[in-house]
Amino acid sequence: MRWQLVDRIDELVEGKSAVGVKCFTLSEPFFADHFPGFPVVPGVLLLESMAQLAGKLIGFTVKRQRGDWPFPIFTMANHVKFRRFVRPGTIVQLHVELTNLSPESAAVKVQAKVDGKLHAQAEEFFVFNAVPLLDDAERRRVENLERQALRLLWADYPRDMLQEAQ
């Protein structure tokens, strides 16, 4: 099963930061078991939502700076702190700050806030590759899928990247 844990990207600054939103509704399948009578978002899914936004920031930054779409893989989290429960019906604002970017990896600081109050924070680490194992046609197909996903989430998607896809 694939979880789509970013509903919208409000701000994405190449090489610096991103802000996004995830609205957790009672219809999310995990609320049935986590926990009956007191549904809360599992911490690992909150970490994953921040990682998904971080992946979009990293992918966009590397594409703009180096020309290839990387495919960031979330590998590790440090200094994870969950401060408050996230309940159904909550709108979570996700904040990502890029702290390190190398040819093969990236590090970010992430926060999840509700109504301006910090609910979770962590440092997250990613490795990536420009997917040299794919042939050109398959690589273009995967890059177009990534472009489309970013365009759907981010209203301010750059026009020059739209033309590049055609």
Rounded to 10 deg, the angle between the 43-66 and 136-153 helix axes is: 120
* Residue numbers annotated as active site: 34
Cα gap 122→143, rounded to integer Å: 28
